[in-house]
Amino acid sequence: MIINMTTIAVRRKHYIDQTLESLSRSDGRDIPVNLVLGSSDTSHVEKYRKTLNIVSWDQEAEAQAKEGRLRHNCNINAIRALKYGDDEYCLCCEDDIVFDPDWLRQLML
């Protein structure tokens, strides 16, 4: 299993630290995480570069993006997250959720 988490730097407030902290306190703490970036700005995820896989905003995504259309561009990033990787099981989520302590066990039921 893998977690593909979408994230973007343009938000006024970032929740990624709290989200990753809740994941580390959960029964899914050992699942690998890909941070799928929704822009070329990596400033809000640099501290995770050595511990998580950062999936850069690429030329294909940039070609599909529309200036000033945040919702459209977030949808492009969600599609990228759904397509990324080849694991049998993949959880796609945004970077502003809180993982319950036993979310993985509940999911597997």
Predicted local distance difference test score (pLDDT) of residue 87: 75
Instruction: Identify the helix (H) or strand (E) that includes residue 37.
Output: strand 33-37
Predicted local distance difference test score (pLDDT) of residue 11: 75
Predicted local distance difference test score (pLDDT) of residue 44: 93
Predicted local distance difference test score (pLDDT) of residue 88: 83
CB 86 within 8 Å of CB 3: no
Across residues 41-65, what is the average pLDDT?
94
Instruction: Identify the helix (H) or strand (E) that includes residue 4.
Output: strand 2-7
Predicted local distance difference test score (pLDDT) of residue 33: 97
